[in-house]
Each structure stands twice: as structure tokens, then as C-alpha cells.
Amino acid sequence: MKKKTILSIILSLVLATGLLAFSACNEEENVPPVASEPVSALTTENLAEYSNFYGRWMYNEDLGAYSFCNSASGFEFRFTGSMCTVDIKCNSISGYNEKEVSVFLDGETDSEVNVATIGRFNARYKMVAVQGLEYKEHTVKILKRQSSMYNTVLLYGAETDGSFLAPPARPSVKLEVFGDSITCGEGTDREESGGQALGGYTARTQNVFHSYAGYCAEKLGAELQVFGRGGICLHITNSSSPLTIYNNYRSVNVDVDVSEDPAYEWDYSLFTPDAVIIYLGTNDYNRGNNNASQGNGYPAYTDGQMKAYMKRFIQEVIGGKYGSDVPIFLLSGMMVPQSNLATVMEEVKEELVGSYDITAISLSATPYGHPIAREHEAAGNTVAAAIAEKLGLTLE
């Protein structure tokens, strides 16, 4: 697989967005970029100039499209007109046939206002993003609700009955989250009734924006970048899951081994977070104990190994890519409360606190297997308050 010349893409993004950096004391840095010449149609030749891309993304030259696989990843346009369509395709990888995205119009933050289902049969087509609007300037942002283990969105272009403009200014606060199904919102939208969570684990009940990460980002008004998916571990492997966050953090997609396909290598210079959340260990605990019970020769879980790998991940990845000053928040508690992960994270913090700015937060456990939206919202508010205090932000 080939990769589009990364320099040309970066230069296009520089022209389109000004690579706006967060500055709590200088709001002038977060202004819209200089307008490009208005056009009515976008293709892969000019999408990067007229779009904001969110999450980890890549240009897949073999498919001739921009690729977005992770939860909360996607794209945003600004245009003058009354409608906008996107030339799009969604490859279903496993699980759900229904591939859902949230469409946010003109600054809307509620992920439920406009939910679009992308064609069931993995076909490329023109999807109406918005229509019937007053003919004036609008912004439309389309973001994935589901994780990389289920589908990948491919973007080929967009059209409007008016003109596309330079993309809007991005959020000034940037939040990166490394996590698993809890972070990706598996089962968040199940209905709570009679002490049970009803509705099962379906496309419709998975929504990253109703996870603690989504609620936290919304509370902070932050740009959210998620890396991970359901079932992923920080470090423990087995025969069916050789890749982990730790051994494949360089990839755009945690399930594509970047050492075998370098086209998937993520350029960390494209996104510099103001805070990093790490919520990993639930699957290490479950998979490691399963490995031990089966005697399959794969690693068993121990508190010591979990602590050692979390420290390595912070030092090699967070410290190595972003430096030692970025605030790090280690989460635990919503699942497998018997795992002792809260104590492990607290010990990681104590052992690294002299070199890194680390906060450990233990959240309330769910009785429902995976947390539901109400529990996620409470957790997200807790984490947002801690991040706001650290960054000197005022929450509404």
C-alpha cells in the first residue's frame, strides 16, 4: 500500500487550519484560517485544504480516499448554501451492519440530533449530510460513533449547492484518550429498567459521545482524539489478539500492524494534546487471567507487569511524543473493580510523579457489565473537572 506524500498533506493542512495551538491566555490564536477560493465540489485533490480532519486519519492511495477508522474520527466543512452531500463509503469489518455517524450542524454538540446510517452493503454513494437549510453560511461535522473494530469510513469528496469555504477554527482544547470498549462507548445507550440494562450491544447502543470520554470532551469544549477499541489490551496478547496499544501505538488503526504496513504510521506531529487520558487494563486483567486458566503459554496478568507496562507506555509514548509536561490522567474502576487496577494506577502515579504530571482517578463501578450513558456522564464530569482545574479552565 502506498501513502500520499505526507508533506503535501501537511502543507495543505497548514494552509487550511494554521495549525492552531491551544493557548489559555491568547484567544487570538484560535481564529478561522484565511479563506480559500470558494468551490462547490471537493475531491481528494482539495479535501485537505477545505476540511478539518478529526482523530487519526490517513490517505489510502490504494482506495483513493481519506480513511477514518477510530471512534470520534471524521471531518468537518464550512460552506455557504442550503445543503451538503458527501461522497462516502463505509467498510463493515465485523459485527454491526449498521454503520452510524453523528452529523453536527452549526456547532450542535448533541450526538443524537442527527444520526446517519451509511449504506449497509459497503457501497460508495453520495450521502445527504444536511439539506433544506436557509441559504447562508453553515458548518457540518461528521464523526464516527463506533470503533475501528466494526467499520472504517472512507471519504472521497463533497458537494454543495453553494460554495465551500476555508474550514472553521478547531476547538482550542485538545484531548487524547487511549482506551478500550469503555472509552469507545460499547453499550452506552442501552435502556435502564428494573435494575437491568436492556437493548443489547448493537450499532444503535454504541456511541462514543455518550462515553465518559465523549461527555468529558463536550464539557471541556475539546477536540477529542480516541485510539483503541473494544477488547484491546495495553500489553497482554493471545493467539487471536497479537496487537496491543503498547506494541502498535504508532498505527492509525490499532488492528493494522504498522511494522508490516508502514502506510498506516500515524504522524504524531499532526495532533498535540493539552491533556492525555489513559483508561486501559480491564482487558489485560480479563485476558491475562484467562491465559493463566487455559495454560496457553501467553502472559498471565499480574499487578507488577501492569504497572511496569503502564510506566513504559507513559515514558516511551506520552513522554517520547509529547514531552513530560502534558497532564496525564490514569482512570480505572468502572469495570472489574476486583482487579486492583485503581491501586496499580495510584502506584504508577507515585513512582512517576517527579517526572510527569499525573493524576489517578478511580471511578464508580457499573452493575451492568459495561457502563450506560448515565454512569458515563457522571464519570465524564468528574474527569472534566480534574482536567479543567489542571489546565486553568472554567467549566460552564
- Give me the domains of the chain, ranges plus CATH numbers: 17-25+34-165 (2.60.120.260), 173-391 (3.40.50.1110)
Least Cα distance to 301 among 328, 338, 329 occurs for: 338
Longest dimension (CA), the chain: 65
Nine-digit cell string for 322: 509529547
281 sits in the region (left: phi over 0; alpha: psi -120 to 50; else beta) called left
- Mean pLDDT, range 61-88, rounded to an integer: 97
Q: What is the pLDDT of residues 248-266, one digit of tens each?
A: 999 999 999 999 999 999 9
Nearest Cα to Cα of residue 227 among 268, 295, 180, 263: 180
pTM value is: 0.90
Say what the pLDDT of residue 218 is. 98
Higher-scoring residue by pLDDT: 46, 123: 46
State the pLDDT at residue 118: 86
Output 8 or 156, whichever has higher pLDDT: 156
Measured CA distances, 270 to 6, 55, 186 (Å): 11, 10, 28
pLDDT bucket at 122, cuts 50 / 70 / 90: confident
Percentage of the chain exceeding pLDDT 90: 83
Query: Which grid cell is 169?
Result: 477554527
Helices vs strands, H then E, count in the chain: 9, 18
pLDDT at 170 over 80: yes
The residue with cell 450521502 is 127
- The whole-number average pLDDT for the span 122-147 is 95
Residue 343 contacts residue 177 (beta carbons within 8 Å): no
Rg value, the chain, Cα: 20
| Region 81-95 average pLDDT | 87
Judged against a pLDDT cut of 70, whether residue 103 lies above it is answered with yes
